[in-house]
Structure 1
Amino acid sequence: MPWNDNAGGGGGGPWGSGGNGGGNRNNPWGQNGGGGGGRDGQEPPDLDELVGKLQDGLRGMFGGGGGGRSGGKGGSGGGIFGAILVALVIGFGVIIWPGRAVYQVQPEQVGVVMRFGEYVRTAPPGLNLKLPWPIETVELPNVTETRTISIGANNIGESQMLTRDENIVDIAFEVQWRVDTANIADFVFNVRNQEEAVRAVAESAMREVVGTSDLVPIITTARAEVSQRTREVMQQTLDEYEAGIQILQVNLERSQAPQSVIDAFRDVDSAAQDAERARLNATAHANRVIPEARGEAAQITQSAQAYRDSVIAEAQGEADRFVAIYDEYALSPEVTRRRMYLETMERILGNSELIILDQEGNAVPYLPLDQLGRNRGQGGQ
């Protein structure tokens, strides 16, 4: 149907014509009392009249009077607006409200509920309720993910640091961190860009630790200590910032002298390793030789003690025997003297050849009967 209705005699819209002052009350925009047909005769709608029609429509739907300001048939226009308003309210309550009031928190997340931008509570994983936007909003940070930041791997400005002994060391390290669930509100509200904050604190902490350490320990034996001290300084700083961030570990990926002097430092490192190897070898040799020397010393000591005891015992025995002989000699000196003489001669002559001399000193041949008897016995065998 065209917008202009010829039956009305003027160029009216779909709500009817206002020509010849007839005035169609079904037009919700209202009409001017003056003549003029078509659009040239219309004026902008009156706001007071629109509000009045809306009130009349609501009263008509809920049992109120239908007269209103428009009089007569004006209640039908107000009913349309009232129906539209009620439909919007019902649609908001049935469709939009549940979608805005019910939300789900994943197992790896924690819900941070804010009311007009102010933190009010923390929601656990699962389905939760809240007041719809814009009253309450929810942030869902991931609290189980271990996040990693690498510093100094590809940036010379980050990697080169000054040590306490005024040397430059080239360091690349990795920081592992995650959200501190005990301070989840601090993580959401106190730091705008958490990753950049961790990066800045990590670089500052590493420079502080390196600045209080010498070069050689950093690149040789103190790598684990540097990592531990850096983690402690980072955690202390982030706790002071109330950032809600937990530092898990700091790993040194590279710790060496600058590239321009790396060869010289490698030579120094090799010399230090050789010295350490020589020291360990010397310690091993000492651990092997010293017990052997102690064992030999103990053996010699024990042998000397045994020899001393045997000599003392033998001397004591001889002394006791001499005392016993002296006692016997004191009782009968002549008998004892003769017995000692005979025993001495027997011991001396027992191993000597027998030669008999006559009074003139000539050797007298004699027949060794004992030898003949011994030889005869051997021949009989």
Structure 2
Amino acid sequence: MNESVDLEKQAITAQPPVPSLDRMRELARRLGDPQRRFPVIHLTGTNGKTSTARITASLLGAAGLRVGLYTSPHLERVNERLVLDGQPADDEAFARCVGAAVDAATPMAERPTFFELLTAAAFGWFAERAVDVAVVEVGLLGRWDATNIADGRVAVVTSVGADHLDYAGSLDGVAREKAGIVKPGSRLVLGDVAARFDQVFARTPAADVVRLGAQFAFDNGRPDPAGAGRRGDPRTPLAHYDDVLLALHGTYQQTNAACALTAVEAFVGHRLPADVVEAGLATVRAPGRLEIVGTDPPRVLDGAHNPAAAAALARSLAEEFPGQRWNVVYGALRGHDFEATLAELDPDRIAAVLCCEPASPRAIPAQELVAAAGRLGLRPALALADVTTAVRHALEQAAPATAILVTGSFYHLTEARRVLTSTR
């Protein structure tokens, strides 16, 4: 995780004082504007955008297309952010494309941020490999995000929630910033977006807008009897599909799958064959999203870093693990409402909250988390020295009726996974 800390420090210190895409556009021009050499499906959302991007890429791959996928953050290696046909960039390709971006940036008067360099590298790699389509996830909000120099043929907004208010100012501001990725003539897919924001998205230059519930959904969602994920009957504006397996856990993944399937059909312009839908949904993976890494007792990783994500996590745990009590390993970063996030946990189902500090310069001190947990009645709450110590303590206290949940920031999931999987 030291690599992630160093890169984040670099990104923080390089933040521009005024939102602008000028630096990113200049960097892309110096590389030959690679983002113009392939079509793009562009995704943003307070929650769900990474999973939806992964599902979208899986469906496109199952349809026989050559697919680039750009997501963030990574969990173990930065290469994970650049994916081609389901495989992360190898070290040689990653170094070459990042090196080209760095070389292009050298003469620039204003130094690009780490995220801008990485985005340029991704676009360069996708152009080099002649992808049929790139699935591109926004890093922050949308309008001023480095990825927004690409013109998405399809734009997806998975959700609008109370996160990054330090940038957007209000929920309406969040919606406006996310609407900023919609380009003239594109198709817009709206997921779990409240009706109060309809006018925001109605003012976008999209040629067509489809909404969750009205035009598409994942009907009759339920846990798969064999424990392989979820089953249900997805419907889109173009088709209905019966009894399809989605190889992801969590009720919220049903919405993500419905958004992804609708976006893919909007992109290709026709319904997908049933076998393509079945293959795409049955093979998708979403690390760190209700990821079950062990049993007896269950060991679950989920990067629920804001109140809406924590509420969705709580609903999913109640359905898929009824009656289970949890030792919760929790860490959070500045900029997120950690107390409201913790408030979504059910005190009756929490055996202990083990607070630690993720490997990030924005980590909230564990004692602050303990104090917040105490105010919410989540007891006992303990401050542990680091993620490894917290996870090992959770394991020592685990019992058949007490499972382990690691949640909060994505920045401590990697180390937690290593400890949990090495002690199975």
Q: TM-score range by the shorter chain?
A: under 0.3
Higher percent of residues as strand: 2
Larger radius of gyration: 1
Higher relative contact order structure (alpha carbons within 8 Å, sequence separation ≥ 6): 2
Normalising by the residue count of structure 2, what TM-score does the alignment of the two structures yield?
A: 0.17
TM-score, reference length from structure 1: 0.19
- The structure carrying a bigger helix percent of its residues is 1
